[in-house]
Amino acid sequence: MSAVLWLVVPAAGQGRRMGADRPKQYLEIAGRPVLACTLERLYAAFPVARLCLCLDPDDTHFDPAWVPFAEWRRVPGGNERVDSVTHALETIALEAADDDLVLVHDVARPCVTVADLMRLHAALAVDPVGGLLAAPAADTMKRDDGAGRVGATEPRAGLWHALTPQGFRYGLLRRALSAAAAAGVTVTDEASAVEALGLSPRLVCGRRDNLKITHPEDLALARQILAAQGEALGMGGPTSVETEPAPAGAGVMER
């Protein structure tokens, strides 16, 4: 198992699809910003991890008091998620060993559970490539024809929704992102960069309520999910720490 666990949280986005007066990571859930709720979940699972928080250099909303980690640093975010992650890896280049595990998590996913975080970490600690939390596709999948109509129905067997965190060894992840940039490969997540090297990241089955807040209705849904997660354990509160059992059928799946 890696001696050091690094957490990279890209949080430089503007969240314009939310149509709010501030970036979505600063919208509130039960009186606390999304960013604070997300960091609290990560801290509950990995209290001794080292955090790289990627923020817009001109961010005026951030409050350091929201960070529970003892070891953390603020990293300038980039125009795209991949730019923020690359900046974070460059920032820790003199401290991180090639075999250190790096988990990258969306700041807009405050509903990830401690159990899923720990399950992912356990799986990746012994995996030579790395991997990600993911959920099997449950809906019928349609591909459009480019004109707003159905062009085809895609078989959902074998399709997964990519979630976060996504985790890879420091050396491999940095090499993958560098190679993708040099080749002009579009990187939508860390796994896609590793896939471009010809490797197959591991799929670790995660809960479907690991929602990414993207649209206005997602914020209300996230509030309900967090409240339900706390109430299910009789703990209350939107950011209560939970240790629920794995979902039915959960486990480590090879891609």
Give the residue-averaged pLDDT of 153-179: 96
CA dist., res. 197 & res. 189, Å (int):
14
CA dihedral of 41, 45, 46, 52, whole degrees rounded to 10:
-30
Task: Note the CATH number of domain 5-253.
Answer: 3.90.550.10
Tokens for 80, please give them: 């795209």
For residue 93, the one-letter residue type is A
DSSP 176-213: HHHHHHHHT---SSHHHHHHTTT--PEEEE--TT----
Which of the given ranges, 14-18, 26-30, 48-52, has the highest pLDDT on average?
A: 48-52
- What pLDDT shows up at residue 19? 67
Tokens for 23, please give them: 């970036």
- What pLDDT shows up at residue 233? 57
- The yes-or-no verdict on residue 194 having pLDDT over 90 is yes
- The yes-or-no verdict on residue 252 having pLDDT over 50 is no
Q: Where are the domains of the chain?
A: 5-253
Q: What is the CA radius of gyration of the chain?
A: 18
Start-end of H helices in 57-102: 81-91
- What pLDDT shows up at residue 250? 46
Lowest mean pLDDT among 13-17, 71-75, 251-255: 251-255
Q: Angle at Cα 212 formed by Cα 169 and Cα 196, nearest 5°? A: 40
Tokens for 25, please give them: 């990571």
Distance of CA 134 to the CA centre of its chain: 11
